[in-house]
């Protein structure tokens, strides 16, 4: 009864503008008994008729009102039965991997009732994780995406909230979550509410990013969302933010000491020892044929990902140009006003400018990576020279190298594990190695 058109109709009944309502059957008027009785009372009060084409109803007589009430109750029962059957079928359809309605997650589409990666959106979904791992700020990632001309599936700008939601979505790592939410009211506002976790249904799909990358990004979000978290202190030491104790606690160098220390279990290691281990690890990696082969394989994959992203941007550029042409033709044919033309054309023009700036930049990066691929021997020679030049580098240069090629340094009582990663155009890459410091056994 709160529907705007219903309120308009009831206003006409009260004013006498109309004297009756004709409908196909009672269930089309309402399926709630209380609401149907309210309709009957209001129409009777204003001497108006309710006329059902399917049921013979006359609400002016006691028998007619009884029949009306019975039919109304049956309509409500039918609605509740349908609702229960639909609700019961949802978990079954989810377990079978079938769509439950709504759009596919960003980066995917439904093909023959199966969730598969969308070639047009996959590069952008990957890019979101990579940018967040690099910058660790949702709003900054959103700004970088918007400035590069990227938009959401709905064609609007990315926001920090959207970036956070996409990072949290486990579909990207190959786990599609279904039957996990319902529509409800909270604080008088209609919103989506989470169901109990035991009702969630999980199904495997083709991943877009590695599980490791997904876990890293979500670990950063978990750390940032901790209550009462204070702003991070300036990083003054080489491995601050990367050094972890085996108990999981970050290790820092307290004032008046020169040791990375775990406040929880008091595990310690001198700063010079950790740097020596890192340099030795770097040298071992750069001279390992197996690790170099893995590095080159990953470099090729990075090249393919960037080529896919470039194709996606070029397709988006053509799409924006087409939309601009449509708006312009509508204006020329007097189908839209000058104000409407400006309102629709300016955002498209801005986005095209962003795409025209981003595509040459990405193309240049691709060309650079391809040139690197043609001179791999020279690149590896320079990379291997890095370990020998390490003692001569300044603290800022060393810190930049650590930030670029290091994922995590785990320090135990008797061992150290250094996880290196590959981020182009760095010459180092991803293998996990352990190197013992003086007096500690290798892990």
pLDDT of residue 184: 65
Does residue 136 carry a pLDDT above 70?
yes
Structure tokens at 126: 């990957």
User: How much is the average pLDDT of 379-385?
Assistant: 55
Q: How far apart are CA 422 and CA 292, in angstroms?
A: 11
- CA torsion sign for 153, 156, 161, 164 is positive
pLDDT of residue 100: 58
DSSP code per residue over 299-368: HHHHHHHHHHHHHHHHHHHHHHHHHHHHHHHHHHTTSS-HHHHHHHHHHHHHHHHHHHHHHHHHHHHHHH
pLDDT of residue 295: 64
pLDDT of residue 224: 86
pLDDT classification of 351: cutoffs 50, 70, 90: confident
pLDDT of residue 363: 80
**Range with top average pLDDT, 17-26, 368-377, 418-427:** 17-26
Q: Are 249 and 264 in contact (CB under 8 A)?
A: yes
Give the residue with greater pLDDT, 264 vs 83. Answer: 264
The radius of gyration of the chain from alpha carbons, rounded to an integer in Å, stands at: 32
pLDDT classification of 52: cutoffs 50, 70, 90: confident
pLDDT of residue 439: 46
Q: Are 118 and 108 in contact (CB under 8 A)?
A: yes
Does residue 27 carry a pLDDT above 90?
no
pLDDT classification of 218: cutoffs 50, 70, 90: very high
**Range with top average pLDDT, 30-34, 53-57, 313-317, 373-377:** 313-317
pLDDT classification of 3: cutoffs 50, 70, 90: confident
pLDDT classification of 228: cutoffs 50, 70, 90: low
Does residue 10 carry a pLDDT above 50?
yes
pLDDT of residue 389: 77
pLDDT of residue 442: 39
Residues 8-11: contacts with CB under 8 Å, at least 24 apart = 10/42
pLDDT of residue 438: 42
Does residue 297 carry a pLDDT above 80?
no
Q: Are 205 and 174 in contact (CB under 8 A)?
A: yes
Residues 268-276: contacts with CB under 8 Å, at least 24 apart = 269/411, 269/416, 269/437, 271/237, 271/238, 271/239, 273/437, 273/438, 274/238, 274/239, 274/243, 274/409, 274/411, 274/416, 274/437, 275/238, 275/239, 276/437, 276/438
Whole-number average pLDDT of the chain? 77
Q: Work out the burial of residue 392: count CB atoms within 10 Å of its CB; fewer than 13 is exposed, 13-18 middle, 19 or more buried.
A: exposed
User: How much is the average pLDDT of 331-339?
Assistant: 85
Structure tokens at 193: 């509410």
Q: How far apart are the first and last CA of the chain?
A: 71
pLDDT classification of 423: cutoffs 50, 70, 90: very low
Give the residue with greater pLDDT, 108 vs 391. Answer: 108
Does residue 157 carry a pLDDT above 80?
yes
User: How much is the average pLDDT of 1-27?
Assistant: 86
Give the residue with greater pLDDT, 133 vs 385. Answer: 133
Distance of CA 176 to the CA centre of its chain: 13
In the DSSP assignment, the letter for residue 232 is P
pLDDT of residue 437: 45
Q: Cis omega before residue 224 (within 30°)?
A: no
pLDDT of residue 250: 86
pLDDT of residue 425: 39
Element of type H or E holding 396 = helix 395-405
Does residue 8 carry a pLDDT above 80?
yes
Q: Work out the burial of residue 23: count CB atoms within 10 Å of its CB; fewer than 13 is exposed, 13-18 middle, 19 or more buried.
A: middle
pLDDT classification of 102: cutoffs 50, 70, 90: low
Does residue 432 carry a pLDDT above 90?
no
Does residue 99 carry a pLDDT above 70?
no
Q: Work out the burial of residue 125: count CB atoms within 10 Å of its CB; fewer than 13 is exposed, 13-18 middle, 19 or more buried.
A: buried
User: How much is the average pLDDT of 141-169?
Assistant: 91
Give the residue with greater pLDDT, 407 vs 64. Answer: 407
- Whose tokens are 């229960």? That residue is 84
Give the residue with greater pLDDT, 63 vs 212. Answer: 212
């Amino acid at each position: 009864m709160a529907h705007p058109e219903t309120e308009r109709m009831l206003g006409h009944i009260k004013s006498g503008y109309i004297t009756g309502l004709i409908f196909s059957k009672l269930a089309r008027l309402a399926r709630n008994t209380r609401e149907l009785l309210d309709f009957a009372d209001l129409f009777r009060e204003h001497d108006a008729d309710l006329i059902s084409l399917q049921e013979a109803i006359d609400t002016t007589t006691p028998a007619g009102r009884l029949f009306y009430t019975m039919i109304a109750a049956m309509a409500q029962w039918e609605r509740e039965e349908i609702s229960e059957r639909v609700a019961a079928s949802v978990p079954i359809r989810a377990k079978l991997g079938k769509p439950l309605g709504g759009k596919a997650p960003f980066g995917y589409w439904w093909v023959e009732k199966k969730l598969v990666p969308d070639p047009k959106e996959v590069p952008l979904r990957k890019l979101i994780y990579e940018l967040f791992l690099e910058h660790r700020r949702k709003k900054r990632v959103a700004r970088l995406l918007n400035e590069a001309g990227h938009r959401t599936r709905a064609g609007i700008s990315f926001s920090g909230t959207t970036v956070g939601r996409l990072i949290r979505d486990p579909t990207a790592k190959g786990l599609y979550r279904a039957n996990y939410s319902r529509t409800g009211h909270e604080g008088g506002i209609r919103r989506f509410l989470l169901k109990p976790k035991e009702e969630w249904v999980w199904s495997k799909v083709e991943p877009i990013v590695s599980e490791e990358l997904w876990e890293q990004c979500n670990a950063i979000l978990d750390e940032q969302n901790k209550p009462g978290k204070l702003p991070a202190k300036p990083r003054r030491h080489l491995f601050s933010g990367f050094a972890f104790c085996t108990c999981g606690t970050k290790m820092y160098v307290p004032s008046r000491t020169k040791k990375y220390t775990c406040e929880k279990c008091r595990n310690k290691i001198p700063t010079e020892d950790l740097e020596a281990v890192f340099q030795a690890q770097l040298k071992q990696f750069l001279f390992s044929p197996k690790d170099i082969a893995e590095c080159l394989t990953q470099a090729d994959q990075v090249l393919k990902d960037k080529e896919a992203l470039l194709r996606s941007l070029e397709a988006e550029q053509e799409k924006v140009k087409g939309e601009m042409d449509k708006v312009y033709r509508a204006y020329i044919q007097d189908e839209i006003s000058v104000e409407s033309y400006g309102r629709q054309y300016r955002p498209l023009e801005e986005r095209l400018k962003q795409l025209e700036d981003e595509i040459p930049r990405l193309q240049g990066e691709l060309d650079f990576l391809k040139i690197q691929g043609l001179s791999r021997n020279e690149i590896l020679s320079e990379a291997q020279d890095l370990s020998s030049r390490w003692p001569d580098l300044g603290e800022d240069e060393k810190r930049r190298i650590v930030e670029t090629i290091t994922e995590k340094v785990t320090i135990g009582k008797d061992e150290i594990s250094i996880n290196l990663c590959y981020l182009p155009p760095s010459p180092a890459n991803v293998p996990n190695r352990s190197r013992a410091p003086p007096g500690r056994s290798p892990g």
